[in-house]
Every structure is written in C-alpha cells, then in structure tokens.
Structure 1
Amino acid sequence: MKAKTLPGHGNPIYAVVAHPKLDLFYTAGNDKGIVEWDLISGLHTRVFNDVKTTVYSLTINHELNLLIAGCKDGSICFFDLESGKLTSFTKAGEAIFDLKYIANKKEIIASTDKGEVLILSPLTREIIHKFQSGNDKIRSLAYHEKLNLMVTVSNDEWIRIYALDDYTFVTQFRGHEKGVGSVAFTADGKFLITGGRDAHLKVWDINDWECKYSFAAHLFAIYQIAVHPNLPYFATASRDKSIKIWRTEDFSLYKNLSIDKAKEGHLLSVNDLCWSSDGNKLLSVGDDKMVKIWDFDELDN
C-alpha cells in the first residue's frame, strides 16, 4: 500500500475522521486546532482555530453539517462545516475520549475520563441522558444499529454491553489485562472485536459473548480498530508504531504497515485511523505529528 505523508500539525495528533459524503477529512490533537484536508490532493484547506485545549475525538453529523470535537477539558465543541466557525459547546466536566453520531437516533454518544456515557441532542447541543459505565476511563465506544447494541470498553478491563434504543444494561465481561483500548463490531454483526493494552486482539461471538479468537496482534497497546465499510477487512493502530490490516473471514493478518515491513509508516505511536467513506483510502495519525493517506487495493498484496 502506498502512502502520502502530510505534515500539517506541530504536536501529536489524536483524532481523524472522514467526511461521509465529501472528499474531505479532519484531524486534531495537541496543538489546539482542527485541520481540514482534501482527500484527493492531500492539501489542507482550512484550520479551525476556535479550540482552546487538546482534542481527543472527532465525529461528523453531515445532516446538520456539524463537526463535533471531544476535548481534554471536558467540552464538546460544535463547528459549522460551511463557515468553519465554532457555534456552541457543551461542558461535560470530564475529558471526552470518544464520540459517535448515531444517525437513525439523531443522537451523539460520548465517553468520559470518569466512566460516564453522555447522550446529546445535535439540535439543542444539550445532554439529554447520562449514565455510569464503570468508574475508569472509557477509551472507546461502538454500536451496531441492526443488533440494537452499544458497547463501552474501559481501563478497568471490562467490556459492557447496552441496548442501543434505551441504553439499558445487557451484560458485562472482563476483556483484557491492563485495560481495553478499542472496540468495533464486524460489519455483518456476528462478532465484536476488542483491542487491549496487553497488545492482544480478541474476537467475541455476539450470540453468547464467548471469546472465539485471542492472539497477540501488536507489540504494545492497540489504540484503534477500524472496520472497512465494504470489504471483509479491518485495521488496527498501535503504540508500537504500526498499522495492521486483518481479514474478518478468519482474522488472519493481511498487511503490516510499518517502517520495518512496508518501508513506510509512522515513526511513533499510531493514535487513530479511519477509512474513507468509499473504503479506497485508510487515514492514520500519530505522535510523530504526521497524517498519512494509504491507498488501499485488496488486489495489491
């Protein structure tokens, strides 16, 4: 896979999100600014400067043309994507580690430093519901609309399952030693994938929540899992400086994107990654202050 490297930040980058309809994507981190990039040319087109602190997470509500940022100081910032201006912010009180926009519910879910899950209305920008999901950092959230399930994973090592329609508790089970850092459902809804600070990937059957696969996937903590939008693959990002792409059919390794294996990659921890909406590109960001655009072609093996 060929990569294009974009130097556009002055500090570590923690979040990347692709626009679901346009050839644009957004990155943010420790330098108090959100950068808008053109996916095709790789040029940055705008910088949103109305950010007062570190940004840990980003999501987009394209229906309302909103870019939403979760920040270290506990604020959730709403930017108008047409003007690039900060229109409002909601103060949650604790650092916001993950954000997701649920289109069919028209709700935003956010996770905090203290184990709280917040539900916000994108229209009013107000917190309409909140609940405790453990008492430690919730590093990542995932949901599957057809399964009516939402998942939180935490530094306390537990994976907690909730009904998506009303956020009632379903079940919980211990996931990884030293904490769980990332989570995603496979596109077909058959499995839940988790990545831990123990560098392992685990694959859980959603019918009985039994662990079907468990293996050392990286050398250090796994920070993100991104499932391909169309094809049977998923990507993982790790503190070991590598990105790996896996097959969802048998959870075997497809590609290792690192300096050692691919002669191209990040020089420090890879903190976040996402696929473009068409799945043709993989976007990654890291502590090395670099943004990378990887061209994905499953025939190029």
Structure 2
Amino acid sequence: MKLTHLHTLSGHQNPVYALANSTQTGLFYSAGNDKGVVEWSLDTMAFVKVLVPVQSSVYAMHIYGERLIIAQRSGVILVFDLSEQRVIAQLAFHQKGVFDLKTIAHKEELLSTGEDGQVAVWSLKDFSLLYHFPVLENTVRVIAISKDEKEVALGCKDGLIRIYNSDDYGLLRVLEGHKFAVTALQYSPEGSRLISGSRDAQLKIWGLPDYELVNNIPAHMFSVYAVAFHPTEPYFATCSQDKSIKLWGASDYKLYKILSLEKQTEGHRHSVNKLLWSPDGRYLISTGDDRQVMVWGFEA
C-alpha cells in the first residue's frame, strides 16, 4: 500500500473547511473562510475557476446528483446546480453556522445541522422545509447516514452520539464514550460499523446493529476532524488538529501510514480539517488551516 504526495494546490487566502467531489470525473471543490467555492482539476492538478461566490465562511459541502449543496456560517444553505452553473435555491432556517449536510436518497431528503443544535429536514424536490427538531442546546458537529439509510448518527458537542430513526426521526439510542465533542463520524461502506472521532483525540469503533463499543484507538494527539473510508479498499483515513493524516486498516485497525512534517514526510503546516477520496479511490485530498489543498496518490 502506498500513499504518495503528488501536488499541493495553492490559492485559498484563509483556512479551508470543506471538500466535495464533482459529478464530473477529475473535478472537485474546496471552500472555507474565503469568498467562494473553488473548482480544481485532478487531471491537470490546477485551479479551474471560482464556482460560486459566497457571503460567509463555508463549513460543509455535499454533492447530490447535479446539485452541490453549500453550508455557511451565516446559517444560509445554497443549492448550486452544476449543469446550469447557477444557484437554484437558498435554504434559510438555521440562525447560526451550519456544520454538516447529508442526504437520504430514498426519501429525497436533505439533513442540515450545526451550531444551533437543531436538525432541519428539507425536500430535495422543491427545497421546502419538511421538519425540524432540537437535538441539544449547543452544537451538533457532524452527521452520518447508515448504509441502508435507516439510521442517522449525530456527533454532538457534549461528547454523545445520538442515533435517530430516519423514518420518523425518533431517537433510538445514545452512545456514551467520548470525553469531549464528537467531531468526526462515518459508517463503514459495508454497513457493519460506525467510527467516531473526537476532541479527545480518540477513535471509537461501534459494532452494528447494537452499537456496542468494540474498539478504542488513541489515534491522534489532538482533535480528530475527519474519518474517510476508501471507496473500494479496506482502509480509512483520519486527519487531525495535530497536523497529521493517518491511514488505518478497516478490519485490523492497524496504523499503516502517517503523513506529517514531524515524521519527515510531506504534510500540512497547521490543523488538517477535511479529507476526501476521489470516487475511483486513486486520490486522497486533504486541506486545512494552512490554506493548502494537498493531493495524495493511493495504490493498494
């Protein structure tokens, strides 16, 4: 297995918080504390264009069909149509920053959440607000959707993971284990586990369907900001406030690779905020507070 630095893409003027793949092969998007969403090419390893200007920092992006959904610190969510190259909807409900977005495809619903502790449920047909419910008094940081789309996991500032039924958004169970805010959450592609990361620098592995805690990994020195499973190979990557990216085995939980300036590899100079695998699994893309977007080549 190899993970090799290929290119560093510069141009952002401020920290970068969000990454998303395009529906077009070889393109992806980045955004953060800048004035716009940037489109990049993996084929040329170069800047393509500023896709859409934004009024406030972008904390999350999510792709659904030909729509790029953009969550902002202002609470406003933009829906950008990639085929029409224009904003087709502005979703206003949240009074504070929106930290994550996910879709439930079979229901054609978009979920949004963030600093106000509320989850909003939107129709992907007409972008109307269908439902909203409070989760806690302060921040919900991250959303994960189970493989069968029947369960929604929310990583919360109080260190708890709350699992909801996607049919009626009823609370199913609460997972206790992390000491501090849950900042990363991802169901495994085959649907047998949920992995959570936190400000306590730990990774916790929860076995489905009962969410029993099956493993705890002291993964990083500081907050874990993303967990990203490879699309086809049995690995997942994590990134952290400690400036490192780590690659783990998805079945043995063994640490296979550390990308960090401290380990004399290429790496980020500040907190690494987001990771993204290209759909074909050939590239891992990372970004963070150093304003750089780094592209890594992957070979199993």
Which TM-score bucket, shorter chain as reference? over 0.9
Match of 1:2 in 2: 4
TM-score by length of 1: 0.94
- Read off the aligned partner of 2:286 and give its amino acid letter: S
Cα deviation, residue 166, structure 1: 2.7
Match of 2:26 among 6, 12, 23: 23
Distance (whole Å) between structure 1 residues aligned to residue 24 and residue 235 of structure 2? 21
1:134 to 136, 145, 153: 136
| Structure 1: distance between partners of 2:220 and 2:23 | 29
Write out the 4+ residue segments of structure 1 that deviate beyond 6 Å after TM superposition: none
Question: Aligned partners of 2:294 and 2:204: how far apart in 1?
Answer: 27
Which structure 1 residue ranges, 5 or more long, are not aligned? Answer: none
2:259 is the alignment partner of 1:257? yes
For residues 244 and 132 of structure 2, what CA distance do their matches in structure 1 show?
Answer: 35
1:32 aligns with 2:68: no
Taking structure 2 as the reference length, the TM-score comes to 0.94
Aligned mates of 1:121, 1:262 — CA distance in 2: 48
Tell me if the contact between 2:104 and 2:149 (Cα under 8 Å) persists in the aligned partners: no
Distance of 1:206 and 1:186 partners within structure 2: 10
C-alpha distance in 2, partners of 1:277/1:166?
31
* 1-structure distance, mates of 2:163, 2:23: 26
The superposition leaves residues 250-290 of structure 1 with CA deviations (integer Å, 9 ceiling, x where unpaired) of 11111111112252011100001111111111111100000
Residue type matched to 2:85 in 1?
A: G
Question: What count of residue pairs does the alignment treat as equivalent?
Answer: 296
Cα separation, 2, equivalents of 1:170 and 1:21:
37
Contact 2:185 / 2:226 at 8 angstroms: preserved in 1?
Answer: yes
Q: CA RMSD in A?
A: 1.4
d(CA) in 1 for partners of 2:252 and 2:75? 39
Does the 8 Å CA contact 1:30/1:55 hold for their aligned counterparts?
yes
- Percent identity, aligned pairs only? 39
* Bigger mean CA deviation after superposition, 116-125 or 8-17: 116-125
Q: Which residue of 1 aligns with 2:215?
A: 213
* Cα distance in 2, alignment partners of residues 166 and 278 from structure 1: 34
Deviations 1:220-267 (A, max 9, x none): 000111111111111111000011111011111111111122520111
Q: Distance in 2 between matches of 1:126 and 1:285?
A: 32
Larger displacement relative to structure 2 (5-14 or 169-178): 169-178
What is the CA distance between 1:127 and its match in structure 2?
1.5
Residues 282 and 293 in structure 1, CA contact (< 8 A), matched pair in contact too: yes
Please tell me whether the aligned partners of residues 259 and 265 of structure 1 are also in contact (alpha carbons under 8 angstroms). yes
Aligned counterpart in structure 1 of residue 186 of structure 2, from 171, 184, 196: 184
